[in-house]
Structure 1
Amino acid sequence: MDQAWTMVVLSLIVLVAYLFDFFGRFTRVPAVVSLIFTGLVLRAVADAVGWQLALPAGLLPVLGTFGLILIVLEGTLDLRLTRERVPMILRAAGCATLGVVLTGALFAGVLVLWLGASWQLAVVHALPFAVISSAVVIPAAVALSERLREFVIYESSISDIVGVVLFYALLREYSGPLDFVFSLGGELLLSVFVGLVMGLSIFWLIQRIEHHVRVLPMIFGITLLYSLGKILHLAPLVMVVLVGLLLNNSHLIARFSRGRLAERAQFEQDLESFKHLTVEFTFVVRSFFFVLLGFGVSAGELLSAPAWVMAVLLMGCSLLPRWALLRGVARERAQPLLWFAPRGLITVLLFMSIPESQRLEAFPVASLMLVILMGALLLTYGSLQSRSLLAADEASAQPSSVTKE
Structure 2
Amino acid sequence: MEIFSSYNLIIEVSLVLILSFIFNGIAKKTNVPAVLMLIILGIIIQYVIKAFGEGAFNFFPLLEILGIVGLIMIVLEAALELELERDKLVPILKSLAVALIGLVVSTFLAAVILKALIKGMTMQSAWLYATPLSILSSAIIIPSVSSLPDHKKEFHIYESTFSDILGIMLFYFLTGRLNPAEDAGVGGFFLNLILTIVISLIASYAIILIFQKIKSQVKLFLLIAVLLLLYALGKKMHLSSLIIILIFGLVIANMKLFFQGKLKEYLDVTKAKLIYHELHVITAETAFVVRTLFFVIFGITIVLSSLLSLKVALISILILVSIYAIRFVLLRVFLGKDLSPQLFIAPRGLITVLLFYAIPEEAIIEGFEPGILLFVIIGTSLIMTWGMIRDKKINPKPSETVLEEEEVLEETEYFIKNTTDLSDIDDTPPVSDH
Alignment TM-score, normalising by the size of structure 2: 0.86
Does 2:343 correspond to 1:338?
A: yes
Match of 1:193 in 2: 198
Q: Is the 8 A contact 1:95 1:330 kept in 2?
A: no
Q: Is the 8 A contact 1:250 1:263 kept in 2?
A: no
SS in 2 for 1:260: helix
Match of 1:204 in 2: 209
Residues in 2 aligned to 1:268 and 1:385: alpha-carbon distance in whole angstroms: 39
**Structure 2 residue corresponding to 1:83, chosen from 86, 104, 107:** 86
CA shift at 1:260, angstroms? 2.4
Does 2:135 correspond to 1:123?
A: no
Match of 2:268 in 1: 263
Q: Is the 8 A contact 2:231 2:245 kept in 1?
A: yes
Alpha carbons of structure 1 residues 19 and 87: separation in structure 2 relative to 1, 3 Å: same
Residues in 1 aligned to 2:357 and 2:196: alpha-carbon distance in whole angstroms: 24
Match of 2:7 in 1: 4
Residues in 1 aligned to 2:174 and 2:259: alpha-carbon distance in whole angstroms: 39
Q: Is the 8 A contact 2:70 2:287 kept in 1?
A: yes
> Which segment is superposed worse, 333-342 or 197-206?
197-206
Which amino acid in the other structure matches residue 52 of structure 1? G
Match of 1:133 in 2: 137
The two structures, once aligned, show a CA RMSD in angstroms of: 2.0
Match of 2:430 in 1: none
> CA-to-partner distance for each residue in 1:309-344, whole Å, 9 max, x for gaps?
222121112111111111113446222101111100
**Structure 2 residue corresponding to 1:72, chosen from 75, 84, 97:** 75
Q: Unaligned regions of 5+ residues in structure 1, if any?
A: 395-405
**Structure 1 residue corresponding to 2:108, chosen from 96, 105, 109:** 105
> CA-to-partner distance for each residue in 1:249-294, whole Å, 9 max, x for gaps?
0111232545223333243233111110011100000000000000
Pairs within 5 Å for 1:367-378: 367-378=372-383
Q: Is the radius of gyration larger for structure 1 or structure 2?
A: 2
Q: Is the 8 A contact 1:187 1:234 kept in 2?
A: yes
Residues in 1 aligned to 2:245 and 2:105: alpha-carbon distance in whole angstroms: 26
> CA-to-partner distance for each residue in 1:15-47, whole Å, 9 max, x for gaps?
111111122111111110000000000111111
**Structure 2 residue corresponding to 1:26, chosen from 26, 29, 32:** 29
**Structure 1 residue corresponding to 2:61, chosen from 46, 58, 62:** 58
Pairs within 5 Å for 1:6-405: 6-52=9-55, 54-116=57-119, 117-173=121-177, 179-331=184-336, 333-391=338-396
Residues in 2 aligned to 1:274 and 1:206: alpha-carbon distance in whole angstroms: 12
Residues in 2 aligned to 1:68 and 1:232: alpha-carbon distance in whole angstroms: 19
SS in 2 for 1:334: coil
SS in 1 for 2:344: coil
> Which segment is superposed worse, 247-256 or 104-113?
247-256
Which amino acid in the other structure matches residue 64 of structure 2? P
Alpha carbons of structure 1 residues 50 and 392: separation in structure 2 relative to 1, 3 Å: closer
Residues in 2 aligned to 1:389 and 1:205: alpha-carbon distance in whole angstroms: 50
Match of 2:412 in 1: none
Residues in 1 aligned to 2:384 and 2:142: alpha-carbon distance in whole angstroms: 11
Alpha carbons of structure 1 residues 57 and 393: separation in structure 2 relative to 1, 3 Å: closer
% same residue? 32
SS in 2 for 1:265: helix
Alpha carbons of structure 1 residues 57 and 34: separation in structure 2 relative to 1, 3 Å: closer
CA shift at 1:392, angstroms? 7.9
Q: Is the 8 A contact 1:44 1:298 kept in 2?
A: no
